[in-house]
Chain A
Amino acid sequence: MELLCPAGNLPALKTAIDNGADAVYIGMKDDTNARHFAGLNFNDGKLAKASDYVHERGKKLHVAINTFAHAGAEERWKKAVDNAVAIGTDALIIADVGVLDYAANKYPDVERHVSVQASTTNLEAIKFFKNNFDVERVVLPRVLSVQQVRQLAKSSPVDLEVFAFGSLCIMAEGRCYLSSYMTGESPNTVGACSPAKYVRWQETEQGLESRLNNVLIDRYQSDENAGYPTLCKGRFEVDNNVYHALEEPTSLNTLELIPELMAMGIVSVKIEGRQRSPAYVEQVAKTWRMALDRYKQNPDNFAVEGAWMQTLANLSEGAQTTLGAYHRKWQ
């Protein structure tokens, strides 16, 4: 099972490889990828350097082109595919059906993965991508229970990749317009959720307030830790009851599922966080590498170490982790 780590810049990429990633995924410096943040991602020169670094060490590079191509501007997404192929990417991670069509026709020999943003959650949808674009792999959205992943793994005609750790997107990826509803910008169109330019912090008499495009997302008392106002993780009111109506600030952590994922034949575990620092990448890659190696050495007696969980919890939103939808009770 491949350990696939995120990198938002060259230092993070090197750190990931040096700390045990089997493969790294990156995006370009424009709106063709779903982590389109200022100061992040790779221009053409950096892309080539990333490819060299990874390949010289016998590892793999995946390039994410995982937003939806804009009407009248499809060339930008096609160009991104061309660039990724030119620097020798091992796989293209694509969300848009039209972009997949282009990649499959123009570069039939370059491996294509269906991005999590394509919301592929069942066998017939997987067949759609296999039949039309001969994809090698599908990245499953974080909405399936372990049982559902197992069922799919049994019948899927293509390899499956799952999310293992990182910020938890609670909606079916690629099917969430909450961010554009509030700000005009969404992961699908702009490559960002709850974009930082719409965030405002304000000390008030009632507490510290976080706002997104002027909508109150949360209000913190002095003894509470304030988190980034991702709009689905704020506190809202439903019939006079104020609570985290959608989700609490928390991250996904599936270390304890390693034996099950292995048994199912999942080919790759993905770490979320291209927007995070090299220090984050280092800690997560190292911890996951240790856990995967430990499992391989002695699969029958695998146990998650408390120290691993602690390290990962410290890197998590709200310093807490969850199994998310993998665990039915979360749903």
Chain B
Amino acid sequence: MKFSLGPSLFFWPKSQVESYYQQAKSSSADIIYLGETVCSKRRELRAKDWIQLAHEVAKDSNKQVVISTMTLLESPAEIQVLKKLCDNGDFLVEANDLSAVQIMHDLKMPFVAGPAINCYNLSTLKVLLKQGMMRWLMPVELSGDWLKSILQEAEEAGVRNQFECEVFSWGYLPLAYSARCFTARSEDRPKDDCQYCCINYPEGRRMNSREGEKVFVLNGIQTMSGYQYNLINEVTALQELGVDIARISADNEQAFIQLDKFKQQLTQPAHYPLDGVNECNGFWHKIAGMSIAQ
């Protein structure tokens, strides 16, 4: 099994992004995703900068670099940027909206179907395969049993060898997307005058219940889980299911440590009790996402 570093979902200054990916280059990740997936107003790096960064990360390294693309695309200008990224000529692209699937199909190029593509069953998987999908990351709300069922069906249908399967395994979960910017709202600004305030919250902004429970993280137009999803104890299960890649979501603090820890599970498996006020794994176990099955 391989391990990937997912795209950073947060808004960081350009210098921080560059130094982060320098670190990523020497990390234990096999695959590195980079690119803006949340908000088109975040322009510390523009399309050409992301492509250039992809070249720098790929240079003299044995890592596969993938360019991740936006999830909620609402304007022709955003589609233009998306087309530029899709037609980069060198790197595989992660589609997070069916617009990117359409564009990659037109370009006759293979793509990764990211977590925001609603692929819940074999019939959908088969349509995406026909469009050129070569790797699939299931929606984060789905369970291990659900995945098992689809992969079995894919096996029976004789298509399992046509795609790699990746699972979001660690980090704050991307849960929802809105027209509204909740970070701007938290500073009492409208989105049109957001002053790019997400940049002040490199790990998003905590939204707690009035009892102090960490419910969600506000990240611009995206709402994330308040707890970090952690499948560290499921690495063996992932392997047994035939999952090809486990994704560690980029995070300023811990992602590189987690990559090593996850990788170590292959050779020296250990059980890590999860921390009930910071971590969760409910989705995998088909219970409320924010809860824990130890």
Listed in ascending order, the chain A residues whose CB lies under 8 Å from chain B are 68-72, 74, 95-99, 101-102, 118-125, 127-129, 131-132, 142-145, 148, 151, 170-172, 174-178, 180-184, 186, 188-189, 213, 215-217, 219, 235-239, 241-242, 245-247, 324-325, 328-331
Contact = CB atoms under 8 A, between A and B. Distances in A.
Closest 6 CB pairs of A and B: A98-B123, A124-B99, A181-B289, A325-B179, A68-B120, A143-B179
Given A178-B216, A247-B180, A124 B79 contact: yes
Contacts of A182: 215, 288-290
A329 B283 CA distance: 35
B149 interface: yes
A74 B286 CA distance: 19
Interface stretch (B4-12, B181-189, B262-270): B181-189
B1 interface: no
Given A122-B79, A176-B176, A246-B223, A237 B209 contact: yes
B79 A238 contact: no
A118 B223 contact: no
B191 A242 contact: no
A188 B207 contact: no
12 contacts: A69-B121, A72-B153, A96-B123, A118-B98, A148-B74, A172-B176, A178-B176, A180-B283, A181-B173, A182-B215, A183-B288, A219-B210
A258 B213 CA distance: 43
Contacts of A242: 210
Contact of B72 (A99, A143, A145): A143
A188 B288 contact: no
Contacts, number: 234
Nearest to B82: A124
Contact of B118 (A97, A145, A178, A325): A97
Nearest to A129: B98
Nearest to A130: B102
Interface string B79-92: 10010000000000
Contact of B223 (A95, A178, A330): A178
Given A124-B102, A177-B141, 18 more contacts: A68-B120, A69-B121, A69-B123, A121-B72, A128-B99, A151-B76, A170-B180, A171-B223, A181-B175, A183-B288, A184-B289, A189-B142, A215-B215, A236-B208, A236-B209, A237-B212, A242-B210, A247-B180
B145 to A, nearest CB: 9
- Chain B interface size band reads 35 or more
A216 B209 contact: yes
A171 B102 CA distance: 23
A177 B289 contact: yes
A330 B142 CA distance: 32
A177 B100 CA distance: 22
Nearest to B120: A68
A122 B71 CA distance: 11
Contacts of A180: 141, 283, 288-289
Nearest to B178: A171
Contacts of A97: 98, 118-119, 123-124, 127-128
A143 B178 contact: yes
Contact of B98 (A120, A148, A183): A120
Interface string B283-294: 100111110000
B139 interface: yes
B35 interface: no
A151 B75 contact: yes
B25 interface: no
Question: Most chain-B CB neighbours within 10 Å: which of A175, A181, A184?
Answer: A181
Contacts of A142: 179
Contacts of B124: 68-69, 96-98, 101
A74 B122 contact: yes
B192 interface: yes
A331 B76 contact: no
Given A181-B225, A331-B190, A69 B120 contact: yes
Contacts of B78: 122
Contacts of B288: 180-184, 213
Interface in B200-250: 205-213, 215-216, 218, 223, 225
Nearest to A172: B177
Question: Most chain-A CB neighbours within 10 Å: which of B147, B152, B181, B288?
Answer: B288
A237 B180 contact: no
B251 interface: no
A188 B142 CA distance: 10
Question: Most chain-A CB neighbours within 10 Å: which of B122, B175, B178, B182?
Answer: B178
B140 interface: yes
A184 B215 CA distance: 14
A184 B287 contact: yes
A101 B123 contact: yes
A123 B149 CA distance: 33
Contacts of B209: 215-217, 236-237
